Amino acid sequence: MGQFRHRLPVVAVLSRLAVGPVLLLVGTGVHHMFMPGPVVHMIVVGAAGVLAGAASVAMSIIATRRNDGRAVWIGMAFSVVATMLIIHGLATPGVIFPANGVVQVAGALNLPIGGTILAAAALPLLRRPRRARLLLGVQFGVVGVLAAVGAAALVLSSSVPVVPTPSSVLANLIFVAGAVPLAVLAWRAARTYLLTQRVMDLLVAQGVVCLICAQYGLLNFGMMDCAWWAAHLLELVGIGMVGIPAALDLRHATGSRPLVGDLRARHLVEHEEMFLGGRVRALLVRLGDKDPSTEGHTRRVATLAVAIGERLGLPEGRLRQLALGGLLHDVGKLSVPNSILNKPGKLTDAEFAEIRRHPGAGRELLTELGGFSPLVLDLVESHHERLDGRGYPNGVPAGELDLAVRILTVADVYDALTADRVYRAAWPAERALALLEDERDTAFDPECVAALRTVVAVDQPNPQPAAPVLGHRPAPARGLASPAFGEAAA
């Protein structure tokens, strides 16, 4: 039930995007006959083919230069779509060739084949070290074979049967076979949009939805039906909405994340950092100048927190807020004197009291700036709280700590332990994990700690076991709200 609830925002986005295309097909499909002439069909289909071909060429050239196998694969999908659209257009009855079945076959198989190739762009094989030139050769080979088969079919067009007939069992089977990979693409694009809130990603999701509806119209209506022509319009619009953002992303040295669906934690953090307001960015620059170790720390904590949140099934909107809260969680250190932040030795009680003020100071600063959600403010203020209520600054008990706060706390402590600080060397990963596990249920949420271990295991498949700590446990980092840690950490 929880997993379904987390998927509801994606379902809601796709449902909204489907309203327009579905209404267009329904409105034009109610006994409306429309026959503008075969030349118009050739022009519309030709425009779609040119658009798909241009996107293919742009993506293939840039992807080969970048040695990006997934982008070449996406370019191949568009080149296949373009080739089949050109065959479909040339076969238009009454322009170059008489009535034939090539126009029906090419139109029916175009989107299912192209969509299947696009959906395969997320295969792990294509994420490994790229051999883009080899894939480019495959692309030329596939397009060449397809063009040769199409040319032969056009020459023999009068003997090609008209299949599938509209609304037949075969037509519906082809629709389902093509709609499944396109639905996967739509889901990836909608989820990516919820993570980034980027208009380009929303356009890709809308474009894929248009292609699904176009495929339905092409397979269930005939050339004299208005809905058949509406389906061609949806196909043209869909190809543009999918192809243009993908090509632009690649041009800006970014793979098409909505198509491959692999927006990683670090990408989400980078995106949130990119769109921070000028005043907030200036504050973070000041904080980096004030305490150089904090700049890298906040990015690592944000990235780690998002990865843990993904493991625990947080919905996309909360992952975005977690990324933002991670980036800003130590902004309150601007109020802490440099002599305390960079002190190599043990802090006095008065100095530690000053350190303990930074979460509240961070919340006050962001509240003054305005524009931050209550969860982001809580993340900044509460990242040093603990489950048993013995944290700071407010001593909030477990029942009042949001899961996102518990995640950020674990990520913050782990990074503080495994990074070099002015007052101690970094701990090995396994030793830091052992400390966190010792404090489960008292300081840290056990599910968050378990998810952290899984995330770290992916990044470090063979962590070295830490040497046992004899005698007392040295203070690991300043600000860790635990009596067992002694001095606390920033």
Phi/psi for 475 (5° steps) reads -65, 120
Q: Is residue 217 part of a domain?
A: yes
The rounded distance, in Å, linking the Cα atoms of 481 and 162 is 74
Residue 212 and residue 333 in one domain: no
Q: Is residue 490 part of a domain?
A: no
3-state secondary structure of 314: coil
Q: Pick from 32-41, 71-80, 460-469 the range whose average pLDDT is largest.
A: 71-80
Domain of residue 471 covers: 266-485
Over residues 306-351, the pLDDT tens digits come to 999 989 988 888 888 898 899 999 999 988 888 888 887 788 889 8
Looking at residue 484, what is its pLDDT?
37
Q: Is residue 387 part of a domain?
A: yes
Residue 250 and residue 289 in one domain: no
When mean pLDDT is compared across 140-154, 340-354, 451-465, the lowest value belongs to: 451-465
Q: Any bridge partners for residue 424, and if so which?
A: 421
Q: Is residue 219 part of a domain?
A: yes
Residue 259 and residue 340 in one domain: no
Looking at residue 262, what is its pLDDT?
64
Residue 314 and residue 203 in one domain: no
Which of 228, 263, 298 lies at the terminal end of a domain, its last residue? 263
Q: Any bridge partners for residue 397, and if so which?
A: 388
The rounded distance, in Å, linking the Cα atoms of 33 and 282 is 61
Residue type, 324: L
Residue 329 and residue 462 in one domain: yes
Residue 145 and residue 291 in one domain: no
Looking at residue 482, what is its pLDDT?
42
Residue 275 and residue 257 in one domain: no
DSSP summary character for residue 392: S
Q: Which of the four pLDDT bands, split at 50, 70 and 90, describes residue 487?
A: very low
Q: 446-483 burial by CB neighbour count: b if 16+ within 10 A, else e?
A: ebbbbbbbebbeeeeeebeeeeeeeeeeebbbbbbbbe
CATH of residue 451's domain is: 1.10.3210.10
Over residues 194-216, the pLDDT tens digits come to 877 788 889 999 999 999 999 99
Q: Give me the count of residues in the chain.
A: 490
pLDDT at 57 over 60: yes
Closest C-alpha to 103, from 51, 41, 28, 178? 41
pLDDT at 11 over 80: yes
Q: Which of the four pLDDT bands, split at 50, 70 and 90, describes residue 63?
A: confident
Q: Which of the four pLDDT bands, split at 50, 70 and 90, describes residue 489?
A: very low
The rounded distance, in Å, linking the Cα atoms of 400 and 186 is 37
- Average of per-residue pLDDT across 259-286: 70
The rounded distance, in Å, linking the Cα atoms of 419 and 341 is 15
Residue 367 and residue 480 in one domain: yes
pLDDT at 469 over 50: no
Q: Pick from 27-31, 37-41, 460-464 the range whose average pLDDT is largest.
A: 37-41
268 compared with 113, residue with greater pLDDT: 113
% residues pLDDT > 90 (the chain):
48
Q: Is residue 46 part of a domain?
A: yes
Which of 214, 237, 263 lies at the terminal end of a domain, its last residue? 263
Residue 279 and residue 222 in one domain: no
Which of 224, 240, 263 lies at the terminal end of a domain, its last residue? 263
Residue 228 and residue 362 in one domain: no
Q: Which of the four pLDDT bands, split at 50, 70 and 90, describes residue 159?
A: confident
- Average of per-residue pLDDT across 80-99: 92
Q: Is residue 134 part of a domain?
A: yes
Residue 257 and residue 278 in one domain: no
pLDDT at 464 over 60: no
Q: Is residue 176 part of a domain?
A: yes
429, two tokens: 């990963």
% residues pLDDT > 70 (the chain):
86
Mean pLDDT of the chain: 84
Number of domains within the chain: 2
- Average of per-residue pLDDT across 89-102: 91
Q: Which of the four pLDDT bands, split at 50, 70 and 90, describes residue 476?
A: very low
pLDDT at 490 over 80: no
Phi/psi for 388 (5° steps) reads -85, 10
- Average of per-residue pLDDT across 163-175: 93
Q: Is residue 473 part of a domain?
A: yes
Looking at residue 145, what is its pLDDT?
95
Q: Which of the four pLDDT bands, split at 50, 70 and 90, describes residue 25?
A: very high
Residue 226 and residue 293 in one domain: no
Looking at residue 211, what is its pLDDT?
96
